[in-house]
Amino acid sequence: QSVLTQPPSVSGAPGQRVTISCTGSRSNIGADFRVHWYQQLPGKAPKLLVYDNRNRASGVPDRFSGSKSGTSASLAITGLQAEDETDYYCQSYDRSLSGYVFGTGTKVTVL
Amino acid sequence: QVQLQESGPGLVKPSQTLSLTCTVSGDSISSGNHYWSWIRQPPGKGLEWIGYIYYSGSTYYNPSVKSRVIISVDTSKNQFSLKLSSGTAADTAVYYCARGRAGEAFDSWGQGTLVTVSS
């Protein structure tokens, strides 16, 4: 029941830049609710990566950056490393649901 | 540093109630600084927010499970709990408890616990 849409997968070679999109609507991202990003390693709980659209969580390398425009948001990973190969989720708040919503999730593959 | 730990049965029979507890350490639920949520993830699928509770006992639930869910809090034990009734195979998932502020990110998560609904 995800209301935020992400590409199922993105890939890039080591050192390259990849971006993950998160598309919502006027009920969530477009309603000026903040977007947050999580990294989930296999078998682990999600870990907060970027909060409030563009702020990196404590200890997160500056290779990760977030942005937001209109009804969409993006997570960029520059200088892609093998350890970045895992799943990423966006999250926001939805006015219609009066609750939190997550993206569909994106698997990043390092070629 | 805050830590959250889920506990409860890993196997529930169909039509029965799934019950989990989250024990919080390193932060006080009664401080009123955060909302306390349950989030689940079916095997191989994405994340779904189930609901949250505030220290006062006020709750809000995802409409998709609202008719079957109750989240409660025990501030004396610094715990909050999830009850999901009429379990079906679709409720099989890893269940996480998490901390966040109103409308904001979930900054701390439990390690998660797998609950399987099966006879």
Per-residue pLDDT tens digits for B105-116 = 999 999 999 999
How near does any CA of chain B get to the CA of A53, in Å?
A: 10
* Nearest-CB residue to B48 (from A1, A51, A57): A1
- Model confidence band, residue B101 (pLDDT cutoffs 50, 70, 90): confident
Residue A33's identity, in one-letter code, is F
Pair B19, B8: CB distance under 8 Å = yes
Q: Which residues of B25-53 are buried (b: 16+ CB within 10 A; e: fewer)?
A: eebebeeeebbbbbbbbeeeebbbbbbbb
Residue A89 with chain B: CB contacts under 8 Å:
46-47
Per-residue pLDDT tens digits for A13-34 = 999 999 999 999 999 999 999 9
pLDDT at A98: 86
pLDDT at B60: 93
Which range among A96-100, B35-39, B55-59 shows the weakest confidence by mean pLDDT? A96-100
Q: What are the structure tokens assigned to B31, written together?
A: 């401080």
* Nearest-CB residue to A102 (from B49, B109, B112): B49
pLDDT at B119: 94
Q: What are the structure tokens assigned to B50, written together?
A: 């189930």
pLDDT at A1: 58
Report CB contact under 8 Å: B62, A99.
Answer: yes
Per-residue pLDDT tens digits for A31-82 = 999 999 999 999 999 999 999 999 999 999 999 999 999 999 999 999 999 9
SS3 B78: coil
What are the DSSP calls for B1-70, one per residue? --EEEEES-SEE-TTS-EEEEEEEESS-GGG-S-EEEEEEE-TTS--EEEEEE-TTS-EEE-TTTTTTEE
